[in-house]
Each structure stands twice: as structure tokens, then as C-alpha cells.
Structure 1
């Protein structure tokens, strides 16, 4: 399946200064708990379990999890990667105390950076915003794997339609978001995600919480 740059851009275009100012309240405070049934503290716990002191975050949102998670060092190396300059600016300001590296990149294209590789990569709520199927989206795994040290961990979460339990409001909201191009997860399911990860990584783990899949995999 061929994916255009316009399709890629559509998934992140909604993240403007105005929407980012409301994101923590609406998505992390309300939608996660009441609609997706995956409370934000559970996602934060996932971060705390896997994040390292040499970390790259991809699809950075507001930087909430990097701001609140427990790094195993006082001065971790943190890098931010996104296709949206507004989110990169928002998140980098929020965690400015860490002096993050910033990379404006499209994860569906090969990634080149002039920097050391990472011990952990987080991609929270990114996959369901990428266009295409799990098969085509998994190119992101290939590209990110090239940035990982041996034994590094890739972890994150994504909202699925297959292999999860969705409430009526979740079904309706996903339908709206897919129609607007904010989401592209109509064909995303737990089995497809597990296959895509297992083909590229070892020690793959997927936990379903509400209609979210919390995953981790070792390089």
C-alpha cells in the first residue's frame, strides 16, 4: 500500500498550539479513562518500567510522559522525534530541564541522524495516527530499529479496533477520527501488531488494556 506525504501529515496536523494546550485534559484526563478505558497512570507505569537514561521519544505529543516518568538517572539523554514542529517545540519546552535533542523526521521513511544510538525508544499513541495498515506502518519499526543499540527496548501503545474490547463511545469516536484522517486504525488488530513486532524483535510483549495495546520488544 502506497502512503502519500499528505496522508502522513494528516495524522499529525491536528496537533496545533491550541489543541496541545487542551490535550492533557481531554485525551489524557478524559478519553483515556472514560472512552479508551486505558487510564493514563497505566501508560505512565509502562513508561517507568521501560524507559532508560538514553531515550528517544517518537510522536512526542505534549511531552507529558517524559515530564512525569522516572528516569534511572538524574541527567538522562533524551531525544524527541516528530514530523510536527509544533509538538516538538511544545514538548521540548516542557522538558527543557533535560536539554533534549530534537529531530524533525518522518518515521515511515529511512531515518538518518548524526548521533549515538539509543537504549530505549518510546512511541506512545503514534501507530494509530500513521496511515496505512499494520503491515505498511511496521516500516517505522524497521527504521527505528536502526537507531537502537543491541539489547535496546522499543515500547509504546496504540489504539486498536481488532482483538480488543471497545465501548460504544470508543467505536463512534474512532469512526469520527478515522473519517477526519486523525486516526488510521480501521484494520489495526492485536494479532497483526504482534506479528509485525515478532518479525523484527525478540522478547515481544503485548498487554491489552481497554482498546489499547501496550507493547514492548527487544532489539
Structure 2
């Protein structure tokens, strides 16, 4: 069997760099409003429900994208403590501006490396549409969970979603879209499967759940 090769720092950075000002400007309408329901067969409303169920008073978001869900979800408090982590400065600028009412902290980090968050602890961690942007298979992407768990309170939740290539029921438009997005490095999920995601979670957590909607796997983890 061919041994998996770890993605280089340059590959990880390139995957994040795709999300520049132009992409972020159309992200809510094009990616979340059109591609999600018509291509991936999972609506942004369904993913917003996931945020509403699990977001806590102290929330860490990895790869917050345009900040759409954090802008619209219902926090359990009027003054949540919000921390945003991304490798892309433009993403951090965009989301911090959109969420300025919460005065979020922003940190530039590679989520495949130790996060170095000090004494910070969080009730919830979101990683929506993050994993399919990270190069390498789940043997490498799983490091995201290892790196974030030390900062989650007992009973806290880690949740998110990712588009898979294998083990899910794709709609008619999905296969061609996956080919294009992987060729242009917008996504890095050619080998990502439902079985691979389940293995990454079951090897780390006792309490987790995966729900499949079209091409999308939505996961919810309770940290012991």
C-alpha cells in the first residue's frame, strides 16, 4: 500500500489563499445560496440549524469563511466570547468586520499545527466546510481534532460539515463540480470518504454523530 504523504506548508497555505476578497464577496449567495442546495443537496438553512443547536457562550470557529453562520446563528448569550482562526488574513478581516458587534478575537493559525491558544477554553468549536479545503486525506486532516480538543471544556461540542467524494449519494451535478474544484485547488477532497471521516472520529471520540445530506457529511462531537 502506498504510504500517504503529509501536505506541505505551501500546499496548506495555497488551499487557504483561494478565499480572497472576490470569492468572499459572493460566497453567501453563490456558494451557500446556490451551490449548496443545487449541487451538494444540503441547504445553508440546515447548516445554520446546526450552529443554533451547538454554539456556546465561548465559541471558537476554525475557517469561518464569510462569517455567514456566526452572523445569523442564535448564541445562548447576548455577549458571546468569540474567537476566529484562519490562515488567511482576508478571511479574518472579513469575518471580524462582519461580527464587530461581538468584538471577536482573531488568530492566524494553520489548523494542522498546534494552535497555541494558551489558557483559552471553549464551550463549542465550529468547522463548517473546513475539512474539504485542507490537503491530504483524513489521516492528516484528523490532526485538526487533535489540535483543538485540549481547548474544549468537558461536555463541549465540536461540530461542522464537509463535502465528501465517496460513500455519499451525489446529485447529478456533484461529480463534475468536484472534479473542477479539486483541479483548481478550491477543494482537496478527492479521497475523502464517509468511512474515512467515521474512522477519524471513532478513533478519537466516544460520543459523535454523522448525518449525511446529499454530498455533505455533518458531524457533531461531544467532548468527554
Matches of 1:85 and 1:218, distance apart in 2: 30
Name whichever of 74-83 and 162-171 sits farther off.
162-171
- Corresponding residue for residue 126 of structure 2: 122
| RMSD (CA atoms) | 0.9
Alignment of 1:78-93 (within 5 A): 78-93=82-97
Residues 16-72 of structure 1 deviation map (CA, whole Å, 9 limit, x = unaligned): 111111111100110011011001100000111111111000001000000000000
TM-score under structure 1 length normalisation: 0.97
In structure 2, how many angstroms separate the alpha carbons of the residues matched to 1:217 and 1:211?
Answer: 20
Question: What pairs up with 1:25-64 in 2 under 5 angstroms?
Answer: 25-64=29-68
Aligned partner of 2:198 among 191, 194, 199: 194
Corresponding residue number in structure 2 for 1:76: 80
Map of 2:149 onto structure 1: 145
1:171 partner SS = helix
Deviation of 1:114 (Å): 3.1
Moved over 4 A (4+): none
Counterpart CA distance in 1 for 2:64 and 2:91 is 7
Q: Distance in 2 between matches of 1:168 and 1:211?
A: 11
Matched, 1:67 2:71: yes
Give 1:178's aligned residue.
182
The number of equivalent residue pairs is 219
Structure 2 counterpart SS, 1:66:
helix
Cα separation, 2, equivalents of 1:33 and 1:172: 16
Given the two structures, how large is their TM-score scaled by the length of structure 2? 0.95
Q: Is the 8 A contact 1:194 1:204 kept in 2?
A: no
Q: CA offset at residue 115 of structure 1?
A: 4.2
1:165 paired residue among 163, 169, 173: 169
The one of 141, 157, 160 equivalent to 1:156 is: 160
Pick from 12, 15, 32 the counterpart of residue 8 of structure 1.
Answer: 12
Q: Write the distance in 2 (CA, Å) between the matches of 1:214 and 1:2.
A: 25
Distance in 2 (CA, whole Å) between partners of 1:18 and 1:179 is: 19
